[in-house]
């Protein structure tokens, strides 16, 4: 079952400085479907537009970002939402936290630095349904936190008193109080060490498995996707260039960019020189013509320089946008 | 310069903080008797890895002369850092030892355009006399990290992505032509490809310009790839250190073993092993407060002695290690990382 359908969305940052206006085309023609009960991973290099994509999906677009065109439709079972038209009031009342929770890049943003964790919980829950019985509510919170394997004393602490990993797990705990249909986590573990990262991701996976909801996990760390995601979408310069089941993406990638990403990963035990991608990351204020990857693609053909490749379905769940694949040459 | 002359000498450095919590007796030893040296004629990449809150940044602050150690001393090019008093001395030292910080958003004020920092650094350290020249120096440095002045010019930090801003801060550190770069989590925000670009850049700086790099990271895969040596820190203590091939290739300390197997593999075929449940440390402060080995609360091989005595530093199989399993350099039977069943009845 489909939870969200996104169709050909363009979202640009429009800025004006010294009479020169420019637009950064951070999301530029993305179509994407999120299913119920899956972990969907979004990967891609820094500044390719991952966080911007999330802003569109989560309804947190604000100037200078603007959605120029496209559709984003959610089906939450008992009601449907057009994410590009929903009123702020409706969003606050019915969608945020209840249906969609968003753990932002840099987890501190959800946690209020001057309030104890328990107060932040109260703030979130209070805006939605009020808290008639404080004592019972506290007990509920303790249970929620303990069920997720966190020590209940975290509730009595301030965010700065927690380690990075604990803070991130608390942020995820907060995001799941209302059992939302969609949990969005933007780089939830990039600042953490591998052991804590493993613990945080286990927690996220357990929550997903238990409530059978959807997790949209954004990270540039492909090894995380390899271990956590059910499907992976690879973004390059504001567009999705390949999407497929995790196994397929890692074992049989078809886009030259995906292939490069996977082959350039260092692994312990291997000291052979790994090359980073040549050329500079694209400037999204003035993206390359044709296939956006062509200036850095070792296999680029003439056609790639002028013509934007269409998305091709390789199988029901595997799609790729590359002229080589279309011509049957890769 | 004579052979074996030390570029950096870290000699039994300890940093204690007074804290409110009594779990640790009101004291937290964030850096606990750390010793190592880098040599002037042998530029190298020295990694420091380990769990969050293990004292890596605190140690970095000592090496940058931002924090006085409680005990021990640090010497750079023969000069004890505690004798750097005048502004001139400090500036000279700062030009030679350049930091790259963990969180680039804290390095850059949200109210200033990022190019200002680069221009200012170039002028401050005498790389340029006027803004025009400074802009050129800045552009060169930006090119080394895959950016250009044209791309970042006029932008405020929030107008750049996490990865872009981090590359700007590496570029800034390159401007004074340092001898030692102290990079604290320099690549945590950048993607794999740029990560390789930045760590390859560190390699190039080491090989071509003889710059040494202290690379503090959680990314053990890139640490393996670029470093010569690595030190694994746990709650202030260096538990295992030595050539990276030994320490990460064949870890002996139970904590290093946990770290190494927690690195997610970039292949979808080994999900099960990584998905095995692990214990995370209880609160940091509690572990800091432990009397014996800081890992005793989580270690699958813990023995009575570990809970009361501090494991001494020993040389075992080409590395320095602190763990009672390897006391006297011998490896007892219990050292086997996979141990099942009862030894007595077996
Ligand atoms: N407020 C803003 N104003 C102008 N441009 C912006 C703004 N925020 C982001 N951008 C630009 O939009 C592009 C996409 O940024 P985004 O934050 O979505 O990237 P990302 O893929 O999340 O990167 P990272 O992995 O580094 O977090 C970048 O070129 C960035 O510089
Ligand atoms: N000024 C201070 N006063 C009291 N405690 C401090 C102070 N600075 C750091 N600490 C504590 O010292 C310990 C080590 O912190 P440090 O920041 O050095 O760890 P780290 O290894 O760099 O962690 P991370 O990987 O998360 O960056 C932590 O428990 C921290 O809370
Ligand atoms: S000293 Fe003891 S507790 Fe510490 S790591 Fe070694 S066996 Fe484990
Ligand atoms: Mg982002
Ligand atoms: Mg740190």
| Interface confidence (ipTM) of the complex | 0.83
Collapsing DSSP states into helix, strand and coil, what is residue B342? coil
pLDDT of residue B340: 34
Summarize pLDDT for B64-84 with one digit per residue, the tens.
999 999 999 999 999 999 999
pLDDT-derived band of residue B331, with 50, 70 and 90 as boundaries?
low
Mean pLDDT over each residue of chain B, to the nearest integer = 86
pLDDT higher for B238 or B200? B238
- B285-306 mean pLDDT: 90
pLDDT higher for A130 or A224? A224
- A12-25 mean pLDDT: 87
Mean pLDDT over each residue of chain A, to the nearest integer = 90
pLDDT of residue A286: 92
Q: Is A161 on the interface with B (CB under 8 A)?
A: no
Residue B25 phi/psi, 5° resolution?
70, 30
Whether A45 lines ligand 1, by a CB cut-off of 6 Å, is no
Distance CA A190, CA A187 (A): 6
Contacts of A289 (CB under 8 A, 6+ apart): A305, A306
Q: Which chain B residues have a beta carbon less than 8 Å from that of A276?
A: 193-194, 196-197, 200
The H or E element containing residue A214 is: strand A214-218
pLDDT-derived band of residue A17, with 50, 70 and 90 as boundaries?
confident
Summarize pLDDT for A21-49 with one digit per residue, the tens.
889 999 999 999 999 999 999 999 888 99
pLDDT higher for A20 or A63? A63
pLDDT exceeds cutoff 50 at A5: yes
pLDDT-derived band of residue B343, with 50, 70 and 90 as boundaries?
very low
Instruction: Residue A209: count other Cβ atoms within 10 Å of its Cβ.
Output: 11
Report the number of secondary-structure helices (H) and strands (E) in chain A: 11, 12
Query: What letters, b where the CB count within 10 A reaches 16 and e where it falls short, cover B202-236?
Result: beebbeeeebbbbbbbbbbbbbbbbbbbbbbbbbb
Using CB atoms and an 8 Å cut-off, which of residues 295-324 of chain A contact chain B? none
pLDDT higher for A278 or B11? B11
- A76-101 mean pLDDT: 93
pLDDT-derived band of residue B13, with 50, 70 and 90 as boundaries?
very high
Whether B217 lines ligand 2, by a CB cut-off of 6 Å, is no
Contacts of B151 (CB under 8 A, 6+ apart): A283, B142
pLDDT higher for A277 or B309? B309
Collapsing DSSP states into helix, strand and coil, what is residue B340? coil
* Nearest-ligand number for the alpha carbon of A186: 4
pLDDT exceeds cutoff 50 at B146: yes
How far, rounded to the nearest angstrom, does the alpha carbon of residue A85 sit from its chain's CA centroid?
21
Q: Note whether B160 contacts A47, CB cutoff 8 Å.
A: yes
Question: A5-9, B50-54, B225-229 — which is least confidently predicted?
Answer: B50-54
Distance CA B265, CA A198 (A): 12
Q: Is B30 on the interface with A (CB under 8 A)?
A: no
CA angle, residues B204, B210, B216, in degrees to nearest 5: 70
Question: A25-29, A165-169, A175-179 — which is least confidently predicted?
Answer: A165-169
pLDDT of residue B22: 57
pLDDT of residue A129: 67
Contact A175, A183 (CB under 8 A): yes
**How far away is chain A from the Cα of B321, in angstroms, using its nearest Cα?**
20
Q: What are the residues facing B183 on neighbouring strands?
A: B100, B215
Q: Is B147 on the interface with A (CB under 8 A)?
A: yes
- B243-251 mean pLDDT: 97
The atom of ligand 2 lying closest to the CA of B61 is 18
Distance CA B5, CA B224 (A): 26
Using CB atoms and an 8 Å cut-off, which of residues 23-52 of chain A contact chain B? 44-47, 51
Question: A14-18, A62-66, A105-109, B275-279 — which is least confidently predicted?
Answer: A105-109
Contact B185, B162 (CB under 8 A): no
Percent of chain A at pLDDT > 90 equals 58
pLDDT of residue B339: 37
């Amino acid at each position: 079952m489909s939870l969200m359908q996104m169709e050909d969305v363009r979202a640009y940052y429009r800025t004006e400085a010294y009479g020169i206006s420019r637009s950064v085309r951070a999301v530029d023609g993305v179509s994407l479907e999120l299913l119920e009960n899956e972990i969907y991973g979004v990967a891609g290099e820094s500044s390719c537009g991952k966080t911007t994509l999330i802003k569109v999906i989560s309804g947190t677009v604000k100037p200078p970002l603007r959605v120029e065109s496209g559709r984003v439709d959610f089906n939450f079972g008992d009601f449907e939402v057009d994410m590009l038209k929903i009123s702020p009031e409706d969003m606050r009342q019915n969608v945020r936290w209840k249906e969609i929770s968003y753990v932002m890049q840099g987890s501190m943003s959800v946690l209020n630095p001057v309030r104890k964790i328990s107060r932040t919980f109260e703030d979130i829950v209070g805006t939605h349904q009020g808290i008639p019985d404080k004592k019972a509510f506290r007990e509920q919170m303790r249970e929620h936190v303990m069920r997720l394997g966190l020590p209940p004393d975290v509730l009595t602490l301030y965010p700065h008193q927690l380690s990075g990993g604990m803070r991130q797990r608390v942020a995820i705990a907060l995001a799941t109080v209302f059992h939302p249909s969609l949990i969005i986590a933007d780089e939830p573990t990039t600042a953490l060490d591998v052991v804590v990262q493993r613990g945080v991701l286990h927690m996220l996976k357990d929550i997903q498995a238990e409530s059978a909801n959807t997790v949209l996990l954004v990270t540039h760390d492909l090894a995380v996707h390899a271990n956590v995601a059910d499907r992976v979408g690879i973004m390059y310069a504001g567009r999705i260039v390949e999407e497929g089941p995790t196994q397929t993406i890692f074992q049989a990638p078809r886009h030259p960019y995906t292939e490069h990403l996977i082959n350039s990963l260092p692994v312990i035990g291997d000291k052979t020189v790994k090359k980073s991608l040549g050329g500079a990351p694209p400037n999204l204020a003035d993206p390359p013509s044709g296939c956006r990857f062509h200036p850095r693609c070792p296999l680029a053909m003439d056609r790639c320089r002028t013509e934007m490749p269409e998305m091709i379905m390789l199988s029901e769940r595997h799609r790729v946008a590359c002229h080589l694949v279309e011509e049957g040459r890769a | 310069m004579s052979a074996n002359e030390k570029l950096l000498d870290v000699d039994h450095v300890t940093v204690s903080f007074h804290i409110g919590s009594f779990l640790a007796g009101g004291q937290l030893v964030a850096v606990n008797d750390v010793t190592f040296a880098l040599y002037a004629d042998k530029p190298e990449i020295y990694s420091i890895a380990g769990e969050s809150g293990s004292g890596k940044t605190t140690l970095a602050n000592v090496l940058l002369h931002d924090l006085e150690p409680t005990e021990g001393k640090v010497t750079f090019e023969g000069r004890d850092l505690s004798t750097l008093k005048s502004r001139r001395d400090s500036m000279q030292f700062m030009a030679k030892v350049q930091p790259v910080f963990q969180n680039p958003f804290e390095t850059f004020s949200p109210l200033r355009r990022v190019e200002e920092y680069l221009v200012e650094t170039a002028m401050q350290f005498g790389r340029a006399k006027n803004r025009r020249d400074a802009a050129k120096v800045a552009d060169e440095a930006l090119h080394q990290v895959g950016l250009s002045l044209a791309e970042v010019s006029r932008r405020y930090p929030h107008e750049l992505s996490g990865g872009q801003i981090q590359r700007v801060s590496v570029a800034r550190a390159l401007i004074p032509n340092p001898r030692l770069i102290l990079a604290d989590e320099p690549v945590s925000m950048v993607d794999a490809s740029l990560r390789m670009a930045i760590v390859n850049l560190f390699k190039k700086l080491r090989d071509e310009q003889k710059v040494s790099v202290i690379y503090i990271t959680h990314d053990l895969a890139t640490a393996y790839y670029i470093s010569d040596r690595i030190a694994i820190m746990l709650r202030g203590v260096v538990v295992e250190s030595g050539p990276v091939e030994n320490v990460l290739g064949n870890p002996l300390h139970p904590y290093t073993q946990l770290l190494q197997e927690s690195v997610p593999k970039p292949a979808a075929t080994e999900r099960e092993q990584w998905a095995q449940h692990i214990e995370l440390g209880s609160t940091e402060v509690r572990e800091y407060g432990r009397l014996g080995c800081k890992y005793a609360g989580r270690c699958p091989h813990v023995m009575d002695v570990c809970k009361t005595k501090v494991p001494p530093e020993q040389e075992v199989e080409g590395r320095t290690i602190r763990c009672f399993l390897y006391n006297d350099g011998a490896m007892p039977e219990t050292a086997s990382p996979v141990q099942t069943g009862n030894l007595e009845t077996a």
